[in-house]
Amino acid sequence: MTAQIIDGKALSAQLRTEVAARAAALKAKSGITPGLAVILVGDNQASQVYVRNKVKACEEAGFHSVLEKYDAAMTEAELLARVEALNNDPTIHGILVQLPLPKHIDDHKVIETISPAKDVDGFHVASAGALMVGEVGFKACTPYGCMRMLESIGMKDLRGKHAVVIGRSNIVGKPMAMMLLAANATVTITHSGTADLGAMTRQADVVVAAVGKRNVLTRDMVKPGAVVIDVGMNRDDDGKLCGDVDYEGVRQVAGWITPVPGGVGPMTITMLLVNTMESAERAANA
Ligand SMILES: Nc1nc2c(c(=O)[nH]1)N[C@@H](CN(C=O)c1ccc(C(=O)N[C@@H](CCC(=O)O)C(=O)O)cc1)CN2
């Protein structure tokens, strides 16, 4: 058996077309254009690419976007003041501070300064809490994208399914587990303290690998036919982008698999557009 591929690029293209249509409809109905502010501090090469791609995606969807770039010497107080100003800007419906931030800036403090009403990254404790108790809030983009990928293969309701999440970060592992739970899956969270990871993953109908380490999931750890979602972004020995999953091995046993690149990555930016759209619609209805 060779796994079928869940194509994040193709799904993204489809969802972005839908978002663009929603943006045009909102503009026609209420004169509101969804607006996203992206803040980048420092000169991290990968971050420069990601913020450019976010702004480009906004342009293609008909959104208004502003990219604020600051050098690494920006102080925490200056950054907090910029976030406060954007909180009070009615043309901005979403605020995103690109991570990682320089070490002298407390990212938690920055995220908590973003108004929960504009937290389109879904990182604020209010957003995490809303997800936990099933209230309205923004969902973290990467796990939200994973859920949409599952939905695209007919796995919206996971009742009776066992999902195993590898990784417990605040921005992927934990919200991923909450979203799977909300979709009625039986969820196991595994991490660096898990005694026998393979014993857990071999029971799983869905495995989400999100640790940032190559070959964390190999073919002997996967139940035949399982769905494998790879959130990892690593470099192999030749410098090529790869995920957390041993793709060539695992695709021999899995039923479905997401590639890296072209899987979860593009969905992260797409769900950012979806959240910003949602925020603008909420503002229009307020
Ligand atoms: N404020 C945030 N910071 C960061 C986030 C985030 O969601 N919000 N996530 C990551 C980086 N990220 C978005 O910001 C991101 C990473 C990767 C991709 C992507 O499309 N990857 C491509 C490959 C790109 C390449 O060739 O390098 C893929 O997987 O196909 C999009 C967004 C950390 N920071």
Out of 233, 247, 273, 276, mutate this one to test ligand 1's pocket (max ligand atoms within 8 Å of CB): namely: 233
16 assigned to a ligand binding site: no
With 80 as the cut, is the pLDDT of residue 1 above it? no
User: What was the pLDDT predicted at 215?
Assistant: 97
Average pLDDT in the 206-222 region?
98
The answer to whether 137 and 130 are in contact (CB under 8 A) is yes
Calpha distance 244→201 (Å, rounded): 14
Question: Residue 6 and residue 22: Cα distance in Å, rounded?
Answer: 25
Report how far ligand 1's centroid is from the alpha carbon of 172 (Å).
12
Mean pLDDT, residues 220-229 taken together = 98
Among residues 155, 199, 203, the alpha carbon closest in space to that of 179 is found at 155
pLDDT digits (tens, 9 = 90+) for 23-36: 999 999 999 999 99
Q: Annotated catalytic, 54?
A: yes
**Amino acid 283: pLDDT:** 95
Question: Out of 119, 121, 205, 230, which one is annotated catalytic?
Answer: 121
Q: Are strands 234-235 and 241-242 parallel, antiparallel or unpaired?
A: antiparallel
pLDDT tens for 175-198 read 999 999 999 999 999 999 999 999
- Report the pLDDT value the prediction gives residue 185, as an integer from 0 to 100: 98
Pocket test for ligand 1, best of 11, 39, 48, 50 (most atoms within 8 A of CB): 50
* pLDDT for 178: 98
Cα Rg, the chain, nearest whole Å: 19
Clarify whether 236 is annotated catalytic. no
Return the C-alpha torsion angle 145, 50, 128, 94, nearest 10: -100
Cα(39)–Cα(50) distance, integer angstroms: 11
Domain boundaries, the chain: 31-116, 141-260
Cα(29) to centroid(ligand 1), Å: 33
82 is in an annotated binding site: no
Q: Would you place residue 286 in the very low, low, confident or very high pLDDT band (cuts 50, 70, 90)? A: confident
CB 199 within 8 A of CB 228: no
CA distance 269 to 110: 20
pTM of the model: 0.97
Stretch 226-251: mean pLDDT, rounded?
97
Q: Assess contact for 201 and 207: CB atoms under 8 A.
A: yes
59-to-51, 141, 160 alpha-carbon distances in Å: 12, 19, 41
- Work out the burial of residue 242: count CB atoms within 10 Å of its CB; fewer than 13 is exposed, 13-18 middle, 19 or more buried: buried
Distance from the alpha carbon of residue 50 to the mean position of ligand 1, in angstroms: 6
Cα 23 to Cα 34: distance, rounded to the nearest angstrom: 7
The CATH T-level fold of domain 31-116 is Rossmann fold (3.40.50)
Alpha carbons 254 and 65: distance in angstroms, whole number: 40
CATH of 141-260, one of 3.40.50.720, 3.10.150.10, 3.40.228.10, 1.20.140.10: 3.40.50.720
Do the domains at 31-116 and 141-260 have one common CATH topology?
yes
The confidence band for 61, taking pLDDT boundaries of 50, 70 and 90, is very high
Residues with CB under 6 A from ligand 1: 50, 96-99, 121, 141-142, 233, 241, 260-262, 265-266, 268-269
* Confidence at residue 124, expressed as pLDDT on a 0 to 100 scale: 98
121 tagged catalytic: yes
Residue from 4, 9, 27, 54 carrying the catalytic annotation: 54
Please state the rounded mean pLDDT for residues 61-71.
98
What is the per-residue pLDDT across 77-131, written as a single tens digit (0 to 9) for each? 999 999 999 999 999 999 999 999 999 999 999 999 999 999 999 999 999 999 9
Q: Ligand 1, atom 1: nearest CA belongs to which residue?
A: 98
Question: How many Å lie between the centroid of ligand 1 and the Cα of residue 12?
Answer: 14
Of the candidates 272, 166, 271, which has an alpha carbon nearest to the alpha carbon of residue 211? 166
| ipTM field | 0.97
Task: Quote the ligand 1 centre to 101 CA distance (angstroms).
Answer: 14
Q: Of all protein residues, whose CA lies closest to atom 4 belonging to ligand 1?
A: 99
